[in-house]
Amino acid sequence: MSVRRKGSKYYLAFRWKGYRMDTTTPVKTEAEAKKIENAVKIAFRINRFDHLDPVSLDVVMRIFQNKRWDLPPELTTLEPQRELTLLTAIEDYLKTAQRNRSQRNLYAIDRLVEFFGESTRLKEIKVANVRQYRQQRQQDVGNGTINRELSVMSGILRVQIELENIEYNPCSGMRRLPENQRDTYLSWKDFTRLLEHSWWIRSIIVMLYYTGMRLNEISDLRWEMFKPERRMLVLPPKMTKEGKSEKKLKLRSKRIPLRKEPLDLLDSLRKKLGDKLIHVTGPIFTYQGRYKNHGKTHQGKPISWGMIKKAWKLALEGSGLEGLQLKDLRHTWKTNAHRSKIDPTTRNVICGHSSRRAVEDLYINLSDGELLKAVDSMTFDHGWTQLDTVAHPESIVPGNKSDAKMTPFPQQKKKAMLVT
């Protein structure tokens, strides 16, 4: 074995088992080159390379690569481990289940990234950091929103625990904040006035009011789920919040019994598609606003919350019901069902709940006839409109006439009674 200099570089050249091998070295002096020479010579003599220093090991690997020989096991390059940051943990979380990609979860993830930073190493997130996040968010949003965001954070960390990348979930030591119960009711007279100003979302509002369905269930409805001969909508479990809940031990399709009002609405929409259609398929409710082809918005496009938001705001301004939320129509349906003396078991089957497994939910099977009889017996004129009007401090404009109706968050809520 010999060391030779060529230009500014030092080369090694030697024979081993009849093969001539030579390669360059990264060192700048002859003494360093001879040191590498001695280490490489011993390594090839004993046929072991795992004891070499990084520079000598690099020379040996270059020799094997020049000869196109397979590397010994101790020289096999391992794929560098991915650094476990909040961003990589979020990527794993989103791949775990489709429900993790819901709009509310993605919104929560954006808020988490804004606070913690996507490049933050997961092991650096402690209970104190989570508590600080909760305290900061309490200045801007309600407890329910914070609980959902921390639930998403806990889910992100739980996936990494299952992958055995971390051992502790700092969110597990955080208790849920008490959530304000929104107590609302929309009178029959105000509902009819709301319909007069509801623009292209009139059909959606009718379905919300008469069925108690969630907005996402209505926006995802397809004609294949409409069973006119049964007067039913049959939703697969994956479309409902109940079906996505990990607390449910038994999954069922959700049946929505249809009164005359929503049934007539769906029949009229179906007839507009044409009498020649034998099997009607596709989404039931799509965008039907004034834009026929405006950028990315066009008639017939699947519904999103962004599309509904503008029309809903105009409907509230026109009807004078500012503060009303779409989910209040579901609250109103539950109140009307209760005041119409529909028993709780039937109400729960129709409306659906994801957070509670009552005994009757597991063992009682209600027929289509019983559900239809219940909704047909419902009445809808049960008092005045009652809205919770709560505003955050930054949303109150000095001198605004509506300030008198608002109680700054997070003080106790105030109920405003609108007499009709």
Q: What is the pLDDT of residues 361-385, one digit of tens each?
A: 556 778 899 999 999 999 998 889 8
Task: Name the phi and psi angles at 336, rounded to 5.
Answer: -65, -40
The answer, yes or no, to whether residue 66 has pLDDT greater than 70, is yes
Specify the domain boundaries for CATH 1.10.150 within the chain.
Answer: 86-173
- Give the H or E element holding residue 204: helix 202-211
Residue 163 pLDDT level (bands cut at 50, 70, 90): confident
Q: Which residue has the higher pLDDT, 173 or 319?
A: 319
The answer, yes or no, to whether residue 122 has pLDDT greater than 60, is yes
**Which residue pairs from 135-138 have beta carbons closer than 8 angstroms and sit at least 24 positions apart in sequence?**
137/111, 138/177, 138/410
The answer, yes or no, to whether residue 390 has pLDDT greater than 50, is no
Q: Which residue has the higher pLDDT, 199 or 50?
A: 199
* 306-321: average pLDDT: 90
Three-state SS for 203?
Answer: helix
Q: Which residue has the higher pLDDT, 401 or 258?
A: 258
pLDDT of 256: 93
pLDDT of 99: 78
Distance CA 420, CA 390 (A): 21
The answer, yes or no, to whether residue 150 has pLDDT greater than 90, is yes
- Give the H or E element holding residue 66: helix 54-67
The answer, yes or no, to whether residue 102 has pLDDT greater than 90, is no
Q: Which CATH architecture has domain 86-173?
A: Orthogonal Bundle (1.10)
Residue type, 406: M
Distance CA 389, CA 402 (A): 10
Residue 398 pLDDT level (bands cut at 50, 70, 90): very low
pLDDT of 125: 92
Distance CA 106, CA 171 (A): 18
* 264-279: average pLDDT: 76
Residue 128 pLDDT level (bands cut at 50, 70, 90): very high
The answer, yes or no, to whether residue 406 has pLDDT greater than 50, is no
Specify the domain boundaries for CATH 1.10.443.10 within the chain.
Answer: 188-418
Give 3-state DSSP helix, strand, coil % of the chain, rounded to 5. 50, 10, 40
The answer, yes or no, to whether residue 402 has pLDDT greater than 50, is no
- Cβ-count burial of 119 within 10 angstroms (0-12 exposed, 13-18 middle, 19+ buried)? exposed
Residue 292 pLDDT level (bands cut at 50, 70, 90): low
Q: What is the sign, positive or negative, of the torsion defined by CA atoms of 134, 137, 142, 144?
A: negative
pLDDT of 47: 80
* 115-138: average pLDDT: 92
Q: Which of 13-17, 113-117, 196-200, 352-356 has the lowest mean pLDDT?
A: 352-356
- Say how many C-beta atoms besides its own lie within 10 A of residue 296's C-beta: 7
Q: What angle (nearest 5°) sits at the alpha carbon of residue 93, between those of residues 92 and 94?
A: 95
pLDDT of 330: 92
Residue 261 pLDDT level (bands cut at 50, 70, 90): very high
The answer, yes or no, to whether residue 405 has pLDDT greater than 50, is no
- pTM score of the predicted model: 0.62
Q: Which residue has the higher pLDDT, 113 or 14?
A: 113
The answer, yes or no, to whether residue 248 has pLDDT greater than 60, is no
Distance CA 194, CA 384 (A): 14
pLDDT of 173: 79
In CATH, 188-418 is 1.10.443.10: yes
Structure tokens at 385: 């409109």
Q: Which of 67-81, 95-109, 149-163 has the lowest mean pLDDT?
A: 67-81
Distance CA 159, CA 163 (A): 6
The answer, yes or no, to whether residue 142 has pLDDT greater than 80, is yes
Is 154 within 8 Å of 169 (Cβ atoms)?
yes
